[in-house]
Chains A and B, each alone.
Chain A
Amino acid sequence: MNASDKTIVSLTHVAKHFGAVRALDGVDLTVTAGECLGLVGHNGAGKSTLMNVLAGTLSADKGTISVHGHDLSGRYSVSTAGENGIRCVFQELSLCPNLSVAENARIFHPSLTGFGWKRRAGDMIHAKLDEIFPGHGITPDDVVADLSIGKRQMVEIARAFTTTNAPLHLVILDEPTSSLDAVTSGQLLDFVRKVVGSGISCILISHVLGEVLNYADRIVVMKDGLVVASKPGSDFTRDTLVAAMGNVVEVEEIKDHQAFEAKRGQTEIVIEARSDTALDSVPLVAHRGEIIGLAGLASHGQTTMLLKIYDAAMRNKRTPKVDGPVALVAGDRQTDGVFHLWSISRNVGVRSLRRMVKRGLIDPLAEAALGREWQERIKIKTPDMDDNILSLSGGNQQKALFARALASDADIILMDDPMRGVDIGTKLEVYDLIRDEAAQGRTFLWYTTEMDELYNCDHTYVFRDGAIVADLTRDALSEEKILQSSFQESA
């Protein structure tokens, strides 16, 4: 391989417009062999569009794409990307839920045909899963619909690294760790370093800045459809990176909240719940105005607990005790959150319909007013709240879901890891909002897979195998303690 072959892909002046929105406004990007490129930026900065162009699923309006020195602009498609060894793990999962893991691997490899293809596909994906995520517990015959969202993400990542006859040069990982817990995220990132060492390149898009800072060789910062910085990873610190992304809010604000310390017992108990396992060391208790964190490894009973509480509130059950109306902010927003065919206003207002009824019908003025109010309060970036919800970027869709819960009459807000794939600016805005609302007497139950978010919580309950194993106050909270409780052997 000579020096000119070191460049795998180079994009020059790539532009992509969606109507009046300039998603990409002339981007230059090169990826060289054996490099891990970190890509960061706000939601709506154009990262996902850029990756779609690179993966061939969107064609650029302007600019050139060349792979290994060959100019492919104008005839670049998904299959040319595949032939040239460029793969993409998309943020919203691209597995077919009705097919098995092995069959999904087959979809990815046109050459897997003929007698015995199923066994070959199964062996291939299983070996790769073993290599990246030891102890994954997935078999090739599992139907994807039966797997948890974290396991689906593992399958999708492993699939992108499998090879048949086409070479593999570049894997794009768009928010790969958003549904993974700390351990599997670590496994993946270590694997990425190993792969990069063997000459394959990766583009890592993540809102968890620590991941990018620790694992990327070079970091590219995007803002408003442009590349605004491109420097070796070691030249950035967390603060300079945030500054480059153009956030006005300082990261330190997260820690500031620690100054505020509500003492338990000043307000009445609104939730008291136990898991179904009968192994809880403590019950989950929430007082009015508290922010309660649910921690632990992904899918160890946190979502089940939230749904149990939601169910109890909706059907007026005696146990668990829930005092007050509830609203749920979904984590898997495409499946459980947004109504795809509705406008943003309608998506926000659907939890508050009863309030907007006039003579038996929904009052369109009230609905529009509610939409406008929340557009302002929560800063949903859109020219018109009557636009379809899918015209928003992922982070803004999530904001709309928050607005839906906060606009409702609910005293208790349940949050099911709502910040998956949301940029740090949006996160900080939402944290502020949650704190304000809590100060006004709303109670939050917050399942999160991100350690930083737990520092916003008054109390954190750690879950393991469906049971509550620890109750940590904010003073006692530390990453070590959470990991310790998450992994304790129940000997």
Chain B
Amino acid sequence: MLAKLTSPRFLRAALPAASFTILLLAIFYVQPRAMSYFGMNLMLQYTVPIALATIAQMFIITVNDLDLSIGAFVGLTACIGATLLADTPVLGVLALAACVAAYAAMGALIHWRNLPSIVVTLGMSFVWLGIAVLVLPTPGGTAPGWVKSIMALKVPYVPFPIVAAVVIGCVVHVVLMRSSYGVVLRGAGGNPKAIGRAGWSLLKTKMVMFGAAGFFGVLSGLSLIGLTSAADAHIADRYTLYAIAGVILGGGEFVGGRVSPIGAVIGALTLALTGSFLTFLRISPDWQIGAQGGILILVLALRALINRREG
């Protein structure tokens, strides 16, 4: 039993949860008032859009690509949500569906022309931003009422963001880690050649993964305006790096199809908490991003140590 608990594999799987718990305990120690239903709700409310964007990034990383446009894309869907979707729902739904389709097409292009995803997505991020500015030139708009009411949902005892995170993590876990097609999708990251040789279409796996990322990007944008009730083209610019950091914090790796949906969600929660933690420590916002980077390096260094023991 003890041997199993100290095995590198278990430690690596437990690291995201452990870092989250330690951070939470540290916050409670510094600011005991955070240890309440209301405090937790306030502290974690922005984790839902971050977790959704992280899951979107994780789908892309699963197939050995990297998405540098997810932040701009979430911004675009937020702008569509706060304008078209609120004013003319049918048109809004169509526009969002077109966004998802565009993501799948981007995956197809990357596979078909064998392009580096970093270049393609970096280029596309300006396209998303441009369209977002066209849709909503100045910050404003209104989120549809149903989106706001979903995000304002009150669950007894457990704060809503936690419930949402658990649901997101579990649903994606079942689909990607337990389903039989999920195996093919992850295999496409581990050894694409082997997947091709077994008769699966690699084009399809890329399109499915990019399409899924687009879908979760849309969900992220909508949940974000549900919280802010208005949108702006630059509303989610930071999400690109948050999402990458969340996946890596959650135990995922950049190549080889090694990802963990539950880990990614915990990673997103941890990132959101570091912001609150640093505020409670009265660290000035100028230093916060640097300090967040410090915490990230600390966790990743721990993982590198565990990996070394494994090797």
Contacts and interface: CB of A to CB of B under 8 A. Distances in A.
B199 A79 contact: yes
Given A94-B194, A117-B180, A107 B257 contact: no
B190 A98 contact: yes
Contact of B184 (A55, A56, A97, A107): A107
B196 to A, nearest CB: 7
A97 B191 CA distance: 7
B187 interface: yes
Contacts of A81: 199
B186 A99 contact: yes
Nearest to A56: B199
Given A103-B187, A110-B199, A95 B194 contact: yes
Count chain B CB atoms within 10 A of each CB in A77, A99, A117 and give the residue with the most.
A99
Contacts of B187: 96, 98-99, 103-104, 107
Contacts of B186: 96, 98-99, 103
B33 interface: no
B197 interface: yes
Nearest to B62: A98
A94 B193 contact: yes
Contacts of A106: 180, 183-184
A176 interface: no
A112 B180 contact: yes
A233 interface: no
Category for how many chain A residues contact B:
20 to 34
Interface string A45-87: 0000000000111000000000000000000011101100000
A96 B178 contact: no
B310 to A, nearest CB: 9
Chain B interface size, under 10 / 10 to 19 / 20 to 34 / 35 or more: 20 to 34
B104 to A, nearest CB: 22
B1 interface: no
B256 A107 contact: no
Nearest to B310: A146
A57 B194 contact: no
Contacts of B193: 94
Given A107-B183, A118-B178, A96 B199 contact: no
Contacts of B181: 113
Nearest to B201: A79
Contacts of B190: 96-99
A57 B200 CA distance: 12
B258 interface: yes
Interface string B60-77: 000000000000000000
Contacts of B191: 94-97
A96 B194 contact: yes
B198 A107 contact: yes
Interface string A331-350: 00000000000000000000
Contacts of B258: 98
B218 to A, nearest CB: 28
Nearest to A143: B9
A78 B196 CA distance: 8
Interface in B159-190: 178, 180-181, 183-184, 186-187, 189-190
A113 B180 contact: yes
Given A107-B183, A118-B178, 11 more contacts: A96-B190, A96-B191, A96-B194, A96-B195, A97-B191, A98-B189, A98-B258, A107-B184, A107-B194, A107-B200, A108-B198
Q: Which 3 A-B pairs have the closest CB atoms?
A: A96-B190, A98-B190, A94-B194
16 contacts: A77-B199, A90-B197, A94-B197, A96-B187, A96-B194, A96-B257, A98-B256, A104-B187, A106-B180, A106-B184, A107-B183, A107-B187, A107-B200, A113-B180, A113-B181, A117-B180
Interface of A: 55-57, 77-79, 81-82, 88, 90, 93-99, 103-104, 106-108, 110, 112-114, 117-118
